[in-house]
A = this chain, B = another copy of it.
Amino acid sequence: MGGLLGLRKVKVKKPERLAMLAAQLKAEGVLHLKQAAERLGVSEMTVRRDLAAAPDTFHYLGGYILAPQTERDGLYRLDKENDEHAEAKDAACRRVAALIAPGDTIFLDCGTTTPHLIAYLPTEVPLTVVCYSLNIANRLAQRPNIRMILLGGLFHPAAQTFSGDEAIHAMEHLRINHAILSAGGVHDQQGVTCSNFNEVPIKQIAMQRALRKTLVIDSSKLRTVRPAFFAKISQFDEIVTENGLLPRASHQGA
């Protein structure tokens, strides 16, 4: 250290540094990487490495360290895992949002596509949304001015959905304008399919009771098949992907 006598360097080890970081963040909420490095008396590189070693303790975004978020836990697990085509799904949902009419009672399917729609739902006009997924319900709960009806029943952790006779029975008392469904596979011959058999009855009832049926998918689903069949392509009024409406020709199949 350049022979500057008396300049005592205070050495702090990793666990201690992490504790100091946590304390600073508690007080300030956000810390710039450069600040953090200065305050801890180490290089930015070291701070980076510390953070990388404790990935769950802090949030790091674009040069800033954020205080850990208390509990945003498993809420949006599904999406995070399976957002391969998140952008396509989002784009498709944006198109679907334009199809929604004021005053509609909408049935909103579960899955990883339909959650994207919620951000685009209009909130200045009356709107009722019927759903059967915990994930969807959580998002709807956070939007103002949307009447939400959740079809309850037994919870299926894998899909984060509810099912049961009661849910199906409940639907029979609802007047649905517009069912917005999604699917894991859409195939000319094999029709429209999904992965979970327990979703089939509720999807079918929803389609049966809805005046208008819209299928929203990202285009990677086209020409694929999943185990559980729930509808023919021709049963839908329109099929929306990130590229727009599917040409009507396809509707003649299956």
Contact = CB atoms under 8 A, between A and B. Distances in A.
Contact of A138 (B4, B75, B119, B149): B75
Contact of A155 (B10, B69, B94, B150): B150
A131 to B, nearest CB: 9
A166 B157 CA distance: 22
Interface of A: 1-8, 10, 19-20, 23-24, 26-30, 35, 38-39, 41, 61-64, 66, 69-76, 87, 90-91, 94-95, 98, 115, 118-120, 123, 132, 134, 137-143, 147-155, 157, 160, 162, 164-167, 169-170, 173, 238, 243-245, 247-248
B142 A73 contact: yes
A48 to B, nearest CB: 14
A80 to B, nearest CB: 9
Contacts of A160: 141
A-B interface, 3 closest residue pairs, ranked by CB to CB distance from nearest? A62-B62, A152-B152, A4-B244
A120 B10 CA distance: 12
